[in-house]
């Protein structure tokens, strides 16, 4: 069979080709162009920021790339006028690829994922985010030369044991210049030298150059670290900065207060706790003695900055799959969390990018010196609770030092299909077909995954949440914490049109604002005006429901009928007919009703010992086998929707004219004005049927879409689509 590029793309998207199909392309022949983000000519400040991925930031769930989960950070810098680039290394053999090789054994000359001064000298700031692999002595020297030339480095670490690829290194160790272990294997020799724990706060690459070290602690304080030093003491960096979220992070210890000083500390009123997975006490001293959460350093001509957690900087848009198992990554929407570090991070970059001639924080000319951390290395930090072993067991077949073992669509993997973000909105689990009532959700145990259907009745905590009321008992409600990317559409303060709308929420049972709640929400949808048969089967007995389905057959002579799911006929439910309904809707008395589509209101119950609906209050015939074109009279046109504000529920009809973003969306064009188009984001359950990439025959078909007007891929669109109907 001849497989052209389009055929291959369709088959890959449909999941019809196994892993072996990726091997039809050459290994490492994908994803070889590093992204660059450029400001407008009018806004360009002439400065450049490099984000390093040569040594990590993409392992495990980390996705610290400028077009992934650091995209909000990168975009904010572009708005400030910076050119932002991803730094991958040096293409030593000029083959268009930058390959990582394990140079501990294969020799430094083969590894291209390296840092050299010549490669980074044009950047004003170099961001090292959760570096997960140690530097060679030459790379440390290159970073020293970079700072000596007047440039700045931003070190973003995380808690100890954030060894995301299980190679026994985390960023606190790599940045410090030594592993927590003192085993002989960490006296690496060769290009690396001795990386054993020196058991002294005064030894190690970071402290020797910047007067500071990362602690090996693991601390949680999601309420926000509130000891923000006044801007007069921090070179102006903390101006406008509020308490900063710490979702399992590390602090630092200042050893030389003329080189380094803290920006954010635990205040006396803060009550941080040990991260629940910490291997030792996690929290050593508390308060200011724990050391700064955020700090800066001035050593000679250049500068450095440090933060002990990626959470307040990252966003919830990961690009790559996990290297070890190929699963979709999940990152935290910290950039827009109430405890965000967005102001702080931009202020830090602005400071790092501005060369200044003073050499140290010596208390002269307004450059206040720092506060030496009383015990800069706790006794617990002098030993390794992991004894030189990874904290967990790597996935079968995965070797963090061998990129040939990386799963498809992960960073540095040999194969990918070009769709590096394989699902921008990970499929919810469980599916909406298992939706429960608010009352049922309230009865569920903490941390139970749920899909809940209810009515939006109020905003909660300003723009950050909503109140979801039970459809059958409005006095019963639960609070829902909204993620940052959900607030514009689903918070009643930001979008009053959502009030009194029925929605489906996918998340975990938890508490919010001291009340029963749902957190970690992965999907929100406007509920269809009526349920499918599959959804109706998942409701509780006694619940009032409205459902739609196709008449399959009569049941119990004239007294009932069997209704099947329109999309999956294997799902059926028994409908007990009231006496006034039998003449029209019993297939025995009216055979023409067979295969007709009905909308039925009633009470979920059992009938004839099977799942059923009783107390049917209304039955509406919406179409039959001779009527395949539902009424379009009340539908909006694409042009109508383009004129509307974002956040409004819409029912729009138009013509399908293209696939958008691979299989994840489609283009809907106004039938009377072909220049007007909407992008329709398809939910995971809709793609197999409605993606034009998977179903080219859809091009030219008319489609009705029910969802919320909102932009998709920076284009006017419809998201949170609850229903799609082909009209021809």
Among 563, 570, 644, which Cα is nearest to 607's?
A: 563
Per-10-residue mean pLDDT, the chain, length 728:
33 36 69 92 95 96 95 94 97 94 77 97 98 97 98 98 94 98 94 96 98 97 94 95 95 98 97 91 97 97 98 93 90 88 96 96 91 97 94 88 95 78 32 65 88 91 92 87 87 88 89 91 77 81 84 93 87 93 92 88 88 89 45 74 83 93 90 91 85 92 89 83 84
Number of Cβ atoms within 10 Å of the Cβ of 622: 13
What does the DSSP assignment read for 516-543?
Answer: EEEEEEEEEEEPPSSB-HHHHHTSPTT-
Domain identity same for 596 and 712:
no
Q: Pick from 562, 593, 623: which residue ends a domain?
A: 623
Query: Would 187 be classed as within a structural domain?
Result: yes
Domain identity same for 236 and 200:
yes
**Dist CA 95 CA 110 (whole Å):** 13
Q: Check residue 95 and give its pLDDT.
A: 92
Please name every residue paired with 659 in a beta bridge, in sequence order, or none if there are none: 666
Q: Check residue 9 and give its pLDDT.
A: 35
Domain identity same for 507 and 584:
no
Query: Would 393 be classed as within a structural domain?
Result: no
Domain identity same for 71 and 142:
yes
Among 224, 225, 252, which Cα is nearest to 157's?
A: 252
Domain identity same for 57 and 160:
yes
Domain identity same for 519 and 540:
no
Query: Would 49 be classed as within a structural domain?
Result: yes
Q: Check residue 418 and give its pLDDT.
A: 54
Among 511, 505, 509, which Cα is nearest to 491's?
A: 505
Please name every residue paired with 678 in a beta bridge, in sequence order, or none if there are none: 668
Q: Pick from 469, 492, 526: which residue ends a domain?
A: 526
* CATH code (residue 482): 2.40.50.200
**Dist CA 519 CA 448 (whole Å):** 10
For the purposes of burial, counting CB atoms within 10 Å of the CB of 683, is it exposed (0-12), middle (13-18) or buried (19 or more)?
buried
Domain identity same for 614 and 677:
no
What does the DSSP assignment read for 249-280?
Answer: E--EEES-TTTEEEEEE--TT---EE-TT-SS
State the number of CA atoms in the 13 A half-sphere of 505 facing the CB.
33
Domain identity same for 497 and 544:
no
Query: Would 653 be classed as within a structural domain?
Result: yes
Q: Pick from 598, 623, 648: which residue ends a domain?
A: 623
Residue 156, SS3?
strand
Burial 67-94 (b: 16+ CB within 10 A, else e): bbbbbbbbbbbbebebbbbbbbbbeeee
Query: Would 633 be classed as within a structural domain?
Result: no
Domain identity same for 211 and 284:
yes
Q: Who's near 231: CB < 8 A, 6+ residues apart?
A: 237, 238, 239
CB 545 within 8 A of CB 615: no
Domain identity same for 445 and 565:
no
What are 555's two structure tokens? 């049941």
> What's this model's pTM, rounded to 2 decimal places?
0.60
What are 71's two structure tokens? 């995209």
CB 66 within 8 A of CB 86: yes
Q: Check residue 105 and give its pLDDT.
A: 74
In the block, tokens 């109020």 appear at 458
Among 118, 121, 115, 109, which Cα is nearest to 139's?
A: 115
State how beta strands 717-726 and 702-709 pair: antiparallel
Q: Check residue 25 and give its pLDDT.
A: 65
How many folded domains does the chain comprise? 5
Domain identity same for 238 and 266:
yes
Query: Would 631 be classed as within a structural domain?
Result: no
State the number of CA atoms in the 13 A half-sphere of 579 facing the CB.
0
**Dist CA 345 CA 313 (whole Å):** 7
Query: Would 421 be classed as within a structural domain?
Result: no
Query: Would 136 be classed as within a structural domain?
Result: yes
Helix ranges restricted to H, 149-274: 171-176, 205-210
Domain identity same for 540 and 509:
no
Domain that holds residue 564: 533-623
**Dist CA 611 CA 605 (whole Å):** 6
**Dist CA 642 CA 536 (whole Å):** 34
């Amino acid at each position: 069979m001849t497989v052209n590029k389009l055929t291959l793309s369709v088959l890959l998207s449909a999941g019809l080709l196994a892993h072996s199909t990726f091997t039809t392309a050459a290994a490492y022949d994908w994803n070889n162009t590093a992204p660059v983000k450029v400001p407008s000519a009018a806004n360009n400040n002439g400065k450049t920021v490099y984000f390093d991925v040569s040594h990590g930031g993409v392992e495990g769930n980390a996705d610290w790339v400028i077009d992934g989960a650091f995209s909000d950070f990168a975009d904010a810098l572009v708005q400030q006028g910076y050119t932002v680039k991803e730094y991958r290394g040096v293409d030593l053999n000029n083959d268009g690829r930058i390959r990582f090789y394990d140079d501990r054994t294969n020799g430094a000359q083969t590894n291209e994922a390296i840092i050299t001064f010549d490669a980074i000298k044009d950047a004003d700031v170099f961001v090292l985010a959760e570096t997960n692999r140690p530097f060679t002595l030459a790379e440390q020297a290159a970073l020293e030369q970079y700072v000596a030339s007047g440039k700045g480095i931003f070190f973003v670490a995380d808690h100890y044991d954030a060894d995301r690829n299980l190679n026994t290194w985390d960023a606190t160790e790599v940045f410090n210049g030594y592993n927590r272990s003192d085993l002989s294997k960490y006296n690496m020799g060769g290009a690396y030298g001795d990386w054993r724990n020196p058991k002294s706060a005064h030894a190690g690459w970071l402290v020797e150059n910047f007067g500071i070290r990362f602690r090996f602690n693991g601390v949680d304080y999601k309420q926000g670290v509130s000891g923000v030093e006044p801007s007069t003491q921090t070179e102006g960096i903390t101006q406008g900065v509020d308490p900063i979220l710490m979702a399992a992070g590390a602090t630092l210890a200042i050893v030389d207060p003329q080189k380094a000083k803290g920006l954010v500390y635990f205040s006396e009123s803060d009550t941080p706790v040990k991260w629940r997975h910490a291997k030792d006490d996690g929290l050593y001293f508390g308060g200011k003695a724990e050391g700064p959460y955020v700090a800066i350093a001035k050593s000679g001509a250049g500068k450095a900055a440090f933060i002990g957690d990626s959470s307040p900087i990252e966003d919830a848009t990961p690009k790559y799959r996990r290297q070890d198992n190929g699963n979709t990554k999940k990152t935290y929407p910290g950039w827009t969390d109430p405890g965000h570090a967005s102001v702080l991070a931009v202020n830090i970059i602005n400071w790092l990018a501005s060369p200044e001639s003073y050499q140290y924080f010596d208390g002269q000319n307004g450059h206040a010196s720092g506060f030496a951390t009383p015990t800069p290395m706790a006794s617990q930090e002098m030993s390794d609770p992991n004894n030189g072993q990874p904290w967990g067991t790597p996935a079968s077949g995965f070797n963090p030092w061998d990129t040939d073992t990386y799963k498809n669509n992960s960073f540095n993997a040999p194969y990918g299909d070009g769709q590096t973000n394989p699902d921008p909105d990970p499929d919810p689990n469980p599916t909406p077909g298992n939706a429960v009532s608010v009352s049922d959700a309230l009865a569920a145990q903490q941390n139970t995954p749920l899909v809940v259907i209810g009515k939006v009745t109020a905003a909660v905590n300003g723009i950050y949440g909503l109140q979801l009321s039970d459809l059958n008992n409005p006095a019963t409600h639960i609070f829902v914490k909204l993620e940052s990317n959900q607030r514009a559409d689903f918070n009643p303060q930001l979008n009053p049109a959502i009030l009194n709308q029925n929605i489906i929420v996918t998340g975990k049972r938890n508490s919010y604002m001291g009340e029963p709640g749902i957190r970690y929400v992965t999907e929100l949808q406007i509920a269809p005006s009526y349920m499918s048969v599959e959804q109706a089967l998942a409701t509780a007995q006694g619940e009032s429901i409205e459902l739609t389905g196709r008449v399959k057959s009569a049941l119990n002579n004239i007294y009932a009928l069997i209704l099947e799911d329109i999309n999956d006929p294997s799902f059926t439910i028994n409908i007990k007919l009231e006496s006034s309904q039998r003449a029209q809707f019993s297939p025995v008395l009216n055979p023409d009703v067979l295969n007709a589509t009905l909308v039925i209101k009633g009470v979920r119950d059992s009938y004839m010992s099977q799942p059923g609906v009783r107390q049917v209050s209304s039955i509406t015939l919406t179409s039959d086998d001779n009527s395949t074109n539902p009424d379009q009279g009340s539908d909006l046109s694409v042009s109508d929707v383009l004129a509307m504000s974002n956040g409004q529920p819409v029912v729009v009809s138009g013509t399908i004219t293209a696939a958008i973003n691979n299989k994840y969306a489609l283009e809907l064009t106004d039938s009377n004005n072909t220049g007007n188009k909407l992008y329709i984001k398809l939910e995971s359950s809709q793609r197999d049927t409605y993606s034009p990439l998977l179903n080219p025959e859809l091009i030219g078909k008319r489609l009705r879409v029910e969802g919320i007007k909102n932009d998709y891929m920076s284009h006017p669109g419809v998201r949170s689509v609850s229903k799609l109907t082909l009209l021809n």
